[in-house]
Amino acid sequence: MIYVDCDSTLILYDGTHDPVTGAKGWRPNDHLVWCLNWYLEMYPQGVTVWSGGGSAYAAQRARDAGLTQPPRYFTRSKAPALVTPWDVVIDDELEFKTPAQIHLTPEEAIIWFLTVGLTPAW
């Protein structure tokens, strides 16, 4: 399973973002969304989106980003209990620890997708 964060991962901000009141100045992380949509074509159950703002917010931000709708969303605080060592986590906050052995920044994730992430083994 690939777990993906929303803010500053699926959605990028240009500095005017107010995390409390909303989303001015945001744009989709088009390269990452493109990679994830490619992955979802092959593995429709293979992506989960999370956010510290909760599952409903995660679903809304995934739609905003143009992500093909994955089946699962949840609030990020549940991640340590749900993520396994064999999962991949894509999150701008690498200090957020989960059991996954692979934690990638959005930039690293794009490189990962273009190298190992889209091979048949995955």
Question: By the criterion CB under 5 A, which residues form the site for Mg ion?
Answer: 5, 7-9, 92
- Output 64 or 92, the one with its CB closest to Mg ion: 92
CB of 57 to Mg ion, least distance (A): 12
Determine contact, residues 12/66, Cβ cutoff 8 Å.
no
CB of 7 to Mg ion, least distance (A): 4
Could you tell me which residues come within 8 angstroms of residue 50 by beta carbon, excluding any fewer than 6 positions away?
A: 3, 4, 5, 6, 58, 73, 74, 75, 76, 78, 79
CB of 93 to Mg ion, least distance (A): 5
- Output 9 or 98, the one with its CB closest to Mg ion: 9
